[in-house]
Each structure stands twice: as structure tokens, then as C-alpha cells.
Chain A
Amino acid sequence: MDYLIEVEQFSGPFDLLFHLIEKNEINLHDLPISEITSQYIEQLNLMEIIDLDDLSEFMLLAATLLEIKSKMLLPEKYDKDPESKEDPRDELVQKLIEYSKFKNLSLMFDKREHAYSKVIYRKNMPSDVLNLTTKLHQDIDFDFSENALINALAELLSKLDSIDHNRKKYFDQIKPDAWTVEDKIGHIRNLFVDHTTMAFEKLFHPDSTRGEIIATFLALLELIRTGEIKVLQKHIFDSIQITKSEAGEILI
């Protein structure tokens, strides 16, 4: 059982091979190919790889090792041709050296990630500030109908995150959807009985939960799709206005 736990840590065939080389304190320059091949295959048999893609990659390296091993058993072929005094192990060793650097680097990255995850940067910011930073990026491409709505929603949700005192309650039990898109469509239609124009933010109650905001937003998109309401933003960072379409304008 010990083995299985250990084995699951290998991120790939090179990782496994590298582990064997390290464990046996082998000098890569003189790789005992026969020994390492049998150890590798032995280890492979112990592993329970379910993913076929992963398995094929481990098998590929096993095949490569066997190929190198068989080439090394035929030394006369290399003696005849002095031009190619290449050691069949060379290519693999080069790859392993390259891999080992990144393997070691990833260990260093792991330590750094741990240390620096405790440094926190600011995330959400008030809407008026958001405008300011986008102004600094001058090449911003502004496509109203999509981006403005998406930004407005993201802004609403981000405000929610920082002051979401009900968060813990969500997970006590699974509840049926408290808000449905259909209900919210009805709600928005009711609002427009008395008003012809409304600010986007007014649609959302300040104490709304995430689920309610999303239901309302979907309802809004649905009403835009059917042409019952229109959205309008006069200037680039103005608030979004929602208007009821004229009765005759509704497309059926």
C-alpha cells in the first residue's frame, strides 16, 4: 500500500524515471540502462493508472528504454561507423537533465507559492474607481451592449462578496431555488407598470443574495431578447438606463 501512495505523486514518466535515478544515486553520465529499465517496468506494474492517455505515455518511455537497451547490446554496429559514435542513451539523458531542472524549479516554485500566498492584494473596488483605471488603459475597446451589462453585473456581485454576511447560511442545507427567472420577469414587468425608465441598479435590492441577482439578471436578458425593454447608456461611464419599449415596438 505504501507504494501506491508514493506512486500517485509522479507527474509523468520522466518524473518516475528521475525518482529511480535519484533513489539509486545513479550518475546520469553512465546510466545503467538495463537495471533502470527493469526497475522502471517493475514500478509501472505497481502503479494503477486508469487514464489511458497517461498510461500510454508511461509505456512510451518504457519502450524507449527497451529500445536503448537493445541498441546497447549491438555494439559492433557503432564500431563500424566511426561517424556515429553516439551513445544511444544520449538523447534520453539530455532530456532527463532538461527535465530535472524544471522539476527542481517546480519545488522552488512550490515553496514560493506557499510563502507569497500570504501576501494579499486588493481585489474589488468601487465603481467610480473602476472607471478611473480603465481610463488609464487608453486602448480599451468599448462594446456597449455586452460589456456594459457584464461589467455592471460583475460590479454588483463584487460588492456582494465583500459584505455577504449570509454566506454561511447557504451551505446548511440544499434548498429549492428561492428565485426563478420567471418570477423575476414578472417582477420587472410590474416595475415597469409604474415607470417607463429605471436605473439598472434599481432592479436589484441592496440585500439581494447572489442567486437572486443572477435570476434578476437573466430575467433582464430575457426581456431584452423579447424586445420588451431596452437598455441604454448615454455616455461611456454613465449608469445604464432601462426603458420600456413602446407598445407598438414589441416584436412578436
Chain B
Amino acid sequence: MNNQEVKSILESVLFISTEPVTVNQFSRLLEVGKNQISDCLEELKNSYSEQRGIRLVSVNDGYQFSTNSCNYFYIERFCKNINLKKLSQQALEVLSIVAYKQPITKGGIEMIRGVQSSGVVNTLLEKGFIKITGQLDKIGRPLLYGTTDNFLKAFGFASLEDLPDINSFQNADLFMNLKE
């Protein structure tokens, strides 16, 4: 199959999908090598430039169409059921801890925050920003939490590697003397 045909199929599948579709899934679907799929996806992504109403966003190894954020005003007017509920400060704190420390137990989160966090963890689970990824092999077998693709999408990260370096988030002036 030549790239033109592959790109056409990729575009159609992406158009109807509500979840990110991975290179592996495309490769199985089209019976085409992963390298060719990756190349075509990147070409496709570049063809949706700033001016277009649709963007191709990569999430983990998957790809999905989204709207251009410039048009949000009109999308919101058009679709009544878009909810723009913002997360509370507590929720954002827990989410940032999970994002950088995953897999982490609730106890681990509470150690860092110094506050019990059950309610916030449940809210984040409900919203689909975090998920249970396993159980720690220790007394009580506590649940381990990690972030989801939804988290990456909502915060505009392509993958977890895309998260900025945590050490750049120290207050420089506050800890000046600590770097001895």
C-alpha cells in the first residue's frame, strides 16, 4: 500500500474514533508495517496546521483528532453538554503527585501532602484522571494509582515523558542555600 492510501485510511479511522488509536492497532488493522504507519501519522499530523479547525493530537502511543482550541467559543455554543468543571487545588495537588510518583499508594500521597486524601483520590478516579494500576505487595496490599490517557489529554501532554522536570519546580529563592 502506498502512503497516500494508508494516510487516507488512517484519517477515516481517526475521524470516527473517540479514543486514541495506537500505531499497533493501525498496523494490525491495515496489515502494514509500524514504521510506515508512524511516518504516515506524522505526515498527517503536520498537515493539520494551526489554521485548521481540527488538530491531530498524540496521546501516549495513540493518536486522536481534537478541535482547535481557538474555536472553543463556538463549540461551546454548539454543544450544550460540554462541562468545564475545574479541579480543586487539592485535586490538582494529588494529581501532580500521582503523575510524578506513579505507581503510588494513597498512603504515599498522604505522606507528601500531610493530609488525608481519600475524597480527592475518589474524585479523580471518578473523573477518569487516575486509575488503579495494581496492589503493593505489602501488609494490607494497598492499591496503587497511576494516571490515565484522559489525564494526558486534559492537560495537553503527549506522554508521561512529556512532563516537565520536577526539579525545576523548586522555588529557587527559597532554597538557595540548599544546593551545597
List residues of chain A with CB under 8 Å of any chain B CB. 9, 11-14, 21-22, 25-30, 53-54, 57, 60-61, 95, 97-110, 112-126, 129, 132-133, 136, 161-162, 164, 167
B45-102 interface with A by 8 A CB criterion = 55, 57, 64-69, 72, 75, 79-82, 84, 86-90, 92-93, 95-97, 99-100
Would B90 and A117 count as touching, CB distance under 8 A?
no
- B contact residues around A133 at 8 Å (CB): 17-19
Report the minimum CB–CB distance from A133 to chain B (whole Å): 6
Query: How far is A120 from B67 in the complex, measured between Cα atoms in Å?
Result: 5
Contact with A along B154-168 (1 / 0, CB 8 A): 111000000010110
Would B112 and A114 count as touching, CB distance under 8 A?
no
Would B95 and A106 count as touching, CB distance under 8 A?
yes
11 sampled A-B residue pairs with Cβ under 8 A: A12-B114, A21-B174, A30-B177, A102-B100, A104-B169, A106-B95, A107-B92, A110-B89, A117-B86, A123-B18, A133-B18
Say whether, besides A106-B92, A108-B169, A116-B155, A99 and B175 are in contact (CB < 8 Å).
no
Residue from B19, B115, B171, B177 in contact with A13 in the complex, judged by beta carbons closer than 8 Å: B115
- A contact residues around B80 at 8 Å (CB): 164, 167
Report the minimum CB–CB distance from B178 to chain A (whole Å): 5
Residue from A12, A27, A54, A112 in contact with B174 in the complex, judged by beta carbons closer than 8 Å: A27
Would A121 and B89 count as touching, CB distance under 8 A?
no
Query: How far is A88 from B16 in the complex, measured between Cα atoms in Å?
Result: 60
Q: Which residue of B lies closest to A161 (CB)?
A: B81
Would A109 and B92 count as touching, CB distance under 8 A?
yes
- A contact residues around B92 at 8 Å (CB): 106-107, 109-110, 113
Report the minimum CB–CB distance from B141 to chain A (whole Å): 24
The 8 A-B residue pairs with the shortest CB-CB distance in the complex, in nearest-first order: A12-B115, A118-B72, A106-B92, A105-B96, A118-B69, A116-B156, A104-B169, A29-B177
Say whether, besides A104-B169, A106-B93, A113 and B154 are in contact (CB < 8 Å).
yes
Most A C-beta atoms less than 10 A away, residue of B65, B89, B167, B175:
B89
Say whether, besides A112-B155, A125-B18, A28 and B175 are in contact (CB < 8 Å).
yes
Report the minimum CB–CB distance from B114 to chain A (whole Å): 4
Most B C-beta atoms less than 10 A away, residue of A57, A97, A122:
A122
- B contact residues around A104 at 8 Å (CB): 169-171
- B contact residues around A22 at 8 Å (CB): 171, 174
Would A121 and B72 count as touching, CB distance under 8 A?
no
B17-43 interface with A by 8 A CB criterion = 17-19, 21, 25, 28-29
Would B93 and A102 count as touching, CB distance under 8 A?
yes
Would B93 and A11 count as touching, CB distance under 8 A?
yes
Query: How far is A167 from B166 in the complex, measured between Cα atoms in Å?
Result: 45
- B contact residues around A125 at 8 Å (CB): 16-18
- B contact residues around A105 at 8 Å (CB): 96, 99-100, 166, 169
Would B154 and A116 count as touching, CB distance under 8 A?
yes
